[in-house]
Chain A
Amino acid sequence: MRVTTRSRIKSPWLFHLNTGSCAGCDIEIVAALTPRYDVERLGCILVGSPRHADVLLVTGPVTRQMLPRFIRVYEQVPEPKVVVAVGTCAASGSPFIGSQMIEGPMDKIIPVDVYVVGCPPRPEAIVRGVVTAVKSKFG
């Protein structure tokens, strides 16, 4: 195994993008970083730039205004990358299906590796989603 692959598995760097979610999934992602769940002990860090990231955590049903920015951010994440769709909105667009402002669900736009469903999913579920994604793609 190459050193880069090994370090990617050991400490995946996350980047979080809100494409119009209600902030429910977003606070659960942050809650996963704080002392109760503390994913930093497992080597995960939430980074401020998509160019530093290995894993893209996306929340929300993609809104019309966010669509070009979403694609741009996706393209900025360097290969190999993993996309984790967090929340039911990201996975299927529900309950916003039928709205003219929604361009989702997400897998119509970009390839998604792991879906973490729930409204919102618990921090444990998000951690498990990231672990599954990293293992399946890099492992």
Chain B
Amino acid sequence: MKMLMTDKSDGTKEIQMDYTRLRVPFGPVHPALKEPISLRITARKEEILDVDIMLGHVHRGIEALAENRNLVQALYLVERICGICSHSHTTCFIQALEEIGEIKPSERALYLRTLIFELERMHSHLFLLGIMAYEVGFDTLFMFTWHVRENVLDLFEEITGNRVHHSMNTTGGVRWDLPPHIVGKVSASMTSIEKSVKYIYDVFQDKTVEKRLYGVGELNYSEARELCVVGPTARGSGVNMDVRRDYPYAAYGELKKGFSVVVRESADAYARTEVRILELFESINIIRTILDELPNGPISTEESVLKLMRIIPEGETVSMVEAPRGELLYFVKTNGKEGLWRLKVRTPTIPNVLGLKPMLIGCEIADIPVTVASIDPCMACANRITLVDPDKGEAKVTDVSTLRRRGRKQ
């Protein structure tokens, strides 16, 4: 931005603003929460003209590493791809191995996998709703949502012994059973969580939240199809897709009637948030159905995991699951010698992050935090922003709280 000062004949000064393009690097590493990402934004006045997205700050070379590990080690390695949807990653990987090795897990094991899967979806969605509330400037709601989320983490701890990386899956089944006294705890917890989620939904329909989220970060149906966005981001844009219904895995084939796919047409940040809130209710329904219909039987095969690893032959397959953020796809090629030739992972955040470009163009700078949070990219919160003046070459560093204040004023 240039400021021109001209002296008038009557002695006063006139200031003219010349608004040229302003480059705003969003990120790359910013320290506060979750994964670093870098967005380079070009803006005029407040309006965003162009967005450039850079990824790869957390590249740990997991695919290459997995080729040097045996199958059991690789299972624990893929779990560490993401701390929020770790169970999705292991389920996807284990499904591929079971398909190659023609191992059939028992019905009970599949139901338990689904149970943890839905609990994970709940914890992930509550996590995001809290972040959304924080970006909107509603700290009380943020704290309340995270308080509810702790109840889900308690259930994880009760069932698997871990809060974040559950290590539930193993070749041919699951590692932990669900004893009757925990069934009661889970169902009691579901009742209290449902009550809290209803309250959260009410608060999200409040005028202040609506005003901040309505019409922000729009991604229309054709753009969503073109960019192949997945999960709640796609469903918020009216794309009716869900791997759980379209290509059932684990126990979703039998639970198909127990849930519906939530789709919203309005395609803005509020639609994506609403899809997540309503999916929480669907998850609660699925969990209740699982608890009612849980079949009896063993939870894993009798052979040891090491023995199973040896019998998995050379082969390749593709496996898909619906992770909390959308479709997660694995390509697995085993070498028949307890190891892997190739592992390819396509996480849902990659297509969703590309959707940020059409969402942000035309928005205002103050809308960046809300829009970025609304796709749930695992790095939702604070990113520091440097405002660069291209004419003077000066860089002004603002932290995200300044930006958030700007967002909240609107």
Where the two chains meet, the residues of A that have a C-beta atom closer than 8 Å to any C-beta of B are 15-18, 20-28, 30-31, 34-36, 46, 48-50, 60-61, 63-66, 69, 73, 89, 95-96, 98-102, 119-120, 122
Q: CA of A21 to CA of B81 in the docked complex: distance in angstroms?
A: 9
Contact with A along B28-47 (1 / 0, CB 8 A): 11011111100000000000
Residue with the highest number of chain B CB atoms closer than 10 Å, among A27, A36, A73: A27
- Among residues of B, the one whose C-beta sits closest to the C-beta of A48 is B399
Known A18-B34, A27-B127: A120·B83 in contact at CB below 8 Å: yes
User: Which of chain B's residues have a CB closer than 8 A to the CB of A35?
Assistant: 143-144, 146-147, 150
| Candidates B56, B378, B384; contact of A23 at CB < 8 Å | B378
B82 & A23 in contact (Cβ 8 Å cutoff) = yes
User: Which of chain B's residues have a CB closer than 8 A to the CB of A26?
Assistant: 33-34, 83
User: Which of chain B's residues have a CB closer than 8 A to the CB of A18?
Assistant: 31, 33-36, 58
Known A27-B84, A95-B77: A20·B164 in contact at CB below 8 Å: no
| Candidates A25, A48, A96, A120; contact of B65 at CB < 8 Å | A96
B86 & A24 in contact (Cβ 8 Å cutoff) = yes
- Among residues of B, the one whose C-beta sits closest to the C-beta of A88 is B80
How many chain B residues touch A (CB < 8 A): the figure is: 45
User: Which of chain B's residues have a CB closer than 8 A to the CB of A34?
Assistant: 130, 142-143, 146-147, 150
Query: Could you list 23 examples of A-B contacts with CB < 8 Å?
Result: A18-B31, A18-B34, A22-B82, A23-B34, A23-B84, A23-B378, A24-B84, A26-B34, A27-B84, A34-B142, A35-B146, A35-B147, A35-B150, A49-B399, A63-B60, A66-B58, A95-B73, A96-B62, A101-B60, A101-B61, A119-B165, A120-B163, A120-B165
Task: For residue A98, give the distance in angstroms from its CB to the closest CB of chain B.
Answer: 6
